[in-house]
Amino acid sequence: MTGDILKFLREKEYVSGEVLAHKLNISRVAIWKQIQRLKATGYKIISDQNLGYCLVFRPDLLLPQEIQRGLSTNYIGKEIYYFPELKSTNIIAKEKALHRAEGIEEGTLIIAERQSAGKGRLGRKWFSPVGGIWLSVILYPQLSPSYISRITLMTAVAAVKAIKICTQIKSQIKWPNDILINEKKVCGILTEMSAELDIISWVVVGIGINVNIDHREFPEDIQENTISLKEVSGKEVLRVKLVQTFLKEFEKYYEILKRREFSSVLKEWKLYSHTLGKKIRVDIGERIITGEAVDINEEGALILKKEDGELAEIISGTVT
């Protein structure tokens, strides 16, 4: 309802309560109540006794009505659950994905202004203050669980593209899922899934982008290796536009993946790679392997040429 009111308020300078009530088929009191709700979320709406309501300021909030206005995807982000604050968008997305039968569609988005218990890979915490983009997308791909790495890689490509389109900033991908600018982390991806035998039941792709965050806000231990888009570009970045662009790119690459044409995504991933060609150490849990990152294979695994010349295929790990 508030979305409909905003639509009319954007079209004209002033719209009377009477016209709004007529168009939306509700009472003028109900319109007034909705206007108060909009004001409470940060919209500035002035009213004139004779002319009606006038929208004078839209907050930079990731509200569903703002994201969906001008969103040109077919199904990613058609349904959005918005939270000013929650523990973790991935947690809520996983709960929702379990209720697929109750109408939680593929492409449903969970988005928050702030996470109080954001999750990173390998059980780490993910610092998520106001000013960033913290979102999770629910997918139900008819693919084998081995596709999970490819979903993470294609998400990274979508993020790099969206950042470039919206800010002109070039970023790089550190295998498998860190997005870096000037060697510092600006974005992370956490992909979680549930599968039955050889088919995925659901996937939750969580992505966090440090957008309009001041460096001094980051916890001290990660300050040195973290950066935000605002810090690189020197100005605030429009978060709504970045979310819309990311969702568009994400849907595009996901469609390619579902057509099993991953090689074209991989080609782009390699273009943006920070890892390939470098001598690296990969922590794979039980041990650390060192060598040169020579390739990523069609499954999304990293191919490492060890010091003895032998090739190792690494499906999951942390590059240091």
- Out of 43, 53, 82, 126, the residue judged to bind ligand BTN by CB under 6 A: 126
Using CB under 6 A as the binding rule, whether residue 282 contacts ligand BTN is answered as no
Q: Which residues pair with 279 in a beta bridge?
A: 292
Contact string 139-158 vs ligand BTN (x = CB under 6 A)? --------------------
> To the nearest whole angstrom, how small is the minimum distance from the Cβ of residue 265 to ligand BTN?
20
- Out of 20, 55, 139, 207, the residue judged to bind ligand BTN by CB under 6 A: 207
Point out which span in 74-82, 161-169, 206-214, 224-232 binds ligand BTN (CB under 6 A): 206-214
Using CB under 6 A as the binding rule, whether residue 118 contacts ligand BTN is answered as yes
Point out which span in 71-79, 120-128, 137-145, 255-263 binds ligand BTN (CB under 6 A): 120-128
User: Is the Cα torsion angle 232, 174, 117, 158 positive or negative in sign?
Assistant: positive
Return the residues of window 156-185 that contact ligand BTN according to CB under 6 A: 178
Using CB under 6 A as the binding rule, whether residue 208 contacts ligand BTN is answered as yes
Using CB under 6 A as the binding rule, whether residue 5 contacts ligand BTN is answered as no
From the CA atom positions of the chain, what is the Rg in Å?
22
- Out of 134, 147, 254, 269, the residue judged to bind ligand BTN by CB under 6 A: 134
> To the nearest whole angstrom, how small is the minimum distance from the Cβ of residue 134 to ligand BTN?
4
- Out of 121, 164, 241, 270, the residue judged to bind ligand BTN by CB under 6 A: 121
Using CB under 6 A as the binding rule, whether residue 119 contacts ligand BTN is answered as yes
Q: Which amino acid is at 72?
A: S
Using CB under 6 A as the binding rule, whether residue 189 contacts ligand BTN is answered as yes
Using CB under 6 A as the binding rule, whether residue 23 contacts ligand BTN is answered as no
Q: What HEC string does the chain produce?
A: CHHHHHHHHHHCCCECHHHHHHHHCCCHHHHHHHHHHHHHCCCEEEEECCCEEEEEECCCCCCHHHHHCCCCCCCCCCCEEEEEEECCHHHHHHHHHCCHHHCCCCCCEEEEEEECCCECHHHCECCECCCCEEEEEEECCCCCHHHHHHHHHHHHHHHHHHHHHHHCCCCEEECCCEEEECCEEEEEEEEEEEEECCEEEEEEEEEEECCCCCHHHCCHHHHCCECCHHHHHCCCCCHHHHHHHHHHHHHHHHHHHHCCCHHHHHHHHHHCECCCCCEEEEECCCCEEEEEEEEECCCCCEEEEECCCCEEEECCCEEC
- Which residue lies nearer to ligand BTN by CB, 9 or 229? 229
Using CB under 6 A as the binding rule, whether residue 239 contacts ligand BTN is answered as no
Using CB under 6 A as the binding rule, whether residue 22 contacts ligand BTN is answered as no
- Out of 141, 188, 300, 317, the residue judged to bind ligand BTN by CB under 6 A: 188
- Which residue lies nearer to ligand BTN by CB, 55 or 153? 153
Q: Which amino acid is at 302?
A: L
> To the nearest whole angstrom, how small is the minimum distance from the Cβ of residue 229 to ligand BTN?
15
* 80 contacts 109 by C-beta, under 8 angstroms: yes
Using CB under 6 A as the binding rule, whether residue 62 contacts ligand BTN is answered as no
Residues lying near ligand BTN in the complex (CB under 6 A):
88-90, 115, 118-121, 124, 126, 128, 134-136, 178, 188-190, 206-208
